[in-house]
Structure 1
Amino acid sequence: MTRYISETFDQARGVESSGDTFFTYGPPGDQWLLFATVVTGDTYDSVSDLGAAGSYRLNIGLTKATYTSRFGPRPTRRDEHGVLETGFDHSRRDEVMPHPHYASQHWVCVVDPATKTLGDVRALLDEAYRFAARKHANRHRRG
């Protein structure tokens, strides 16, 4: 997935930290806008059960319109562990679902994307990338 993002989106910059990769939009030296991440372990949460070898969670930042058209209003209630109450089992594989911690900011995730979600994931990544590019252009126009 990291290779797909790096090779598909011209202005995407991947920064790796502790095995995770954070993808931003923007030319070097400019303010970067995060649009996707690939998380490979349970360092920050264990709800996705990423302990299996090769397992990862792809996280994608969407527009409010796309998020709400798929999942309804963004969640605001959290459980005792800080996980947003979305009604989804965040350990399910190959299913697009609200992000366990950032769905309130219109982020979605997929644990181990495969055949069932690959086309959807690519379309969502494209939208997230174009959204980051629009935000970048708007910032530059405003000065």
Structure 2
Amino acid sequence: MSVDEIIAFVDGLGGTLTLRPGPGDGSPEIAWGDTFFYYAPDGVVPRTQPFATIVTKDYPDDTRSRLDRPEAFRVNVFAGTEAFTRWTGHTPREPAGSDPSVPDIVFAHPVYARQGWLAVVNPGGRTEPAVRELLRAAYDAARTRHQRHHA
């Protein structure tokens, strides 16, 4: 899956606000080139964390995925405790066991695993169905939270 394919999939779910920070939009330079997904049918950035992101480079506190390689990117998805445990075989509180630089595998996010986030570097044939399932579930959870708060 390419970055554009992931964005098109999430945008197709409806009510998604997709932010792609870049020069001149007031966003911090470190975020330029990355993508942030929110459930926001009104088009207003909510005061919550995104339900998924795509990062295209290493961050100062997040280098273990080696996104400094050509064409490397990582999709990050909030999965919650139950799905996190199902995908990794352990709870978010336990240490991660997978190498977060290996492409096309689902693994515990190298920084936000304790909060229930999963990630995939350069999703491909092995993980495309999983990435779609995880994105849809994260979207559904964000939509449900939004509807509860706006009811």
Residue 43 of structure 1 and its aligned partner are, at CA, apart by 2.8
Query: 2:93 corresponds to which residue?
Result: 75
Give the residue type in structure 2 aligned to 1:73. Answer: T
Task: State the Cα distance separating 1:138 from its structure 2 match.
Answer: 1.2
What is the alpha-carbon distance in structure 1 between the residues aligned to residue 99 and residue 55 of structure 2? 17
Q: Per-residue displacement from partner, 1:106-138 (whole Å, max 9, x unpaired)?
A: 110000000010011101110000000011111
Q: TM-score, normalised by structure 2?
A: 0.80
Gaps of 5+ in 2: 1-5, 22-31
What TM-score, normalized by structure 1, do the two folds share? 0.84
**Any conservation in 1 of the 2:55–2:74 contact (CA below 8 Å)?**
yes
1:63 touches 1:131 (CA, 8 Å); kept in 2?
no
- What is the count of residue pairs matched by the alignment? 132
2:69 to 41, 45, 52: 52
| Structure 1: gaps (5+ residues) | 77-84
Q: Kindly provide the amino acid, as one letter, of the partner of residue 129 in structure 2.
A: G
What secondary structure, in the 3-state scheme, does the structure 2 residue paired with 1:133 have? helix
Q: State the shift of 1:87 in Å.
A: 1.3
CA deviation map 1:69-110 (0-9, x unaligned): 23321136xxxxxxxx31110101000011011111111000
Q: Secondary structure at 1:52's aligned position in 2?
A: coil
1:62 partnered with 2:72: no
Higher strand share: 1
**Secondary structure, in 3 states, of the residue corresponding to 1:110?**
strand
Superposition RMSD in Å: 1.6
AA of the residue aligned to 1:51? D
Q: Work out the percentage of aligned pairs sharing the same amino acid.
A: 32
